[in-house]
Amino acid sequence: MQRVDTCFDANKARPAKVRICTPGVSALASMHLHPFCVKEVVECRTSGYHSETDSCTVSKAPNGPTVKMHLQNLHTMEELNFIGNCLKGSRPVLSFDAAFEKQAHTRLLKEMLTQIFGVPKSSRRVKPFVDHVMGFTLAGGKIWVRVFQINESEPGKKKPVDGEEMEVDLAPKKKGKTELDVQLVEIGPRFVLTPIVIQESSFGGPIIYENKEFVSPNQIRADLRRTKAGKYNRRTEAAKDNKIKRGDLGLTTHGGRKKEKDPLSDSVLFA
């Protein structure tokens, strides 16, 4: 039997929002070891409402700050179907673009992302391996997140696309420790985050940063619907004006009286 979420209401045409972690819940769950909490927004797609907007709010409990971001271009590992892989429970290496150090709000974003994805060595259920890299690139006001596998291979072996190893003749091996060729292979997932606002407190407080260039996807869709509705209204008004002009010219009357309907017209036959 499938469990139905209590926040889902199919009778309402508005999205239901779920706060996964709030400051109060964080205190009860002893979240002081993991200070950043994530609030996910679940959009309920009912017959009366359809929305494709995904947002993510990250907050540090209990004193803040809070960052609200727009999540887009999310692709899971199953969708991408890359060849690489990584161990479950391994710790990632975080790689940040140098552009994060240029402004104050980007330095704050870097610190928050570091504390979210940077798993400490003493954390439970973490394996003592580092076999993948998470890359954060700042471009166009957006944060592009990619995950790569650290692929190590011996210099005397070349790995083609089909996965079979081929021997390659190289210089004679030197005695001692063998150097390995390190390559990065993308494994997914990948997504893009657009910062919208940064608040001073946890899940509230005064706004200390606002992205003036961000336009909500709901606003874009509303503008498109308004544009289509404007085209229809202009066609309707043009048809009315044409009918009035034909009446002024006497084209809608027959000898000063109203033109009789044709008994074989579609409006009479299929009335």
CA 235, CA 167: separation in Å to the nearest integer? Answer: 71
Identify the top-confidence range among 22-26, 106-110, 177-181, 260-264. 106-110
| Cα 108 from Cα 100, distance rounded (Å) | 9
Per-residue pLDDT reduced to its tens digit, 154-179: 776 655 544 444 454 455 555 556 77
Most confident of 40-54, 161-175, 228-242: 228-242
| C-alpha–C-alpha distance, residues 102 and 33, integer Å | 29
Which range has the top average pLDDT, 21-30, 100-109, 211-220? 100-109
Distance CA 194, CA 146 (A): 15
Do the Cβ atoms of 84 and 186 come closer than 8 Å?
A: yes
Q: What percent of the chain has pLDDT over 70?
A: 69
* pLDDT category of residue 241 using cuts at 50, 70 and 90: confident
Asked if the model's pLDDT at residue 110 lies above 90, the reply is: yes
pLDDT for 93: 92
Q: What is the distance between the alpha carbons of residues 266 and 271, in angstroms, rounded to a whole number?
A: 8
Provide the 3-class DSSP secondary structure of residue 78: helix
- The number of beta carbons lying within 10 Å of the beta carbon of residue 271 is 7
Residue 20: the pLDDT is 44
Which of 3-17, 136-150, 164-178, 209-223 has the largest mean confidence? 136-150
Percent helix, percent strand, percent coil in the chain, to nearest 5: 25, 30, 45
The answer to whether the beta carbons of residues 25 and 61 sit under 8 Å apart is no
pLDDT confidence of residue 145: 94
pTM over 0.85: no
Q: What is the pLDDT of residues 24-41, one digit of tens each?
A: 656 555 554 344 444 343
d(CA 151, CA 206): 45
Q: Please name the residue that has the structure tokens 């008004």.
A: 237
Average pLDDT (83-103) is 90
More confident residue, 120 or 158: 120
Mean pLDDT of 13-28: 50
The overall average pLDDT reported for the chain is 75
Pick the more confident residue, 144 or 167. Answer: 144
The answer to whether 191 and 74 are in contact (CB under 8 A) is: yes
CA distance 51 to 74: 16
Q: How far is CA 142 from CA 76, 105, 112, 238, in A?
A: 19, 13, 15, 44
Three-state DSSP class for residue 202: coil
Task: In whole angstroms, give the CA distance from residue 182 to residue 159.
Answer: 12
Query: What confidence tier does 119 reach under pLDDT thresholds 50, 70, 90?
Result: confident
pLDDT for residue 10 is more than 70: no
Specify the pLDDT at position 237: 85
Closest CA to 183 of 228, 215, 152: 152
| Whole-number pLDDT of residue 146 | 94
Q: Residue 166's closest CA among 185, 153, 175?
A: 153
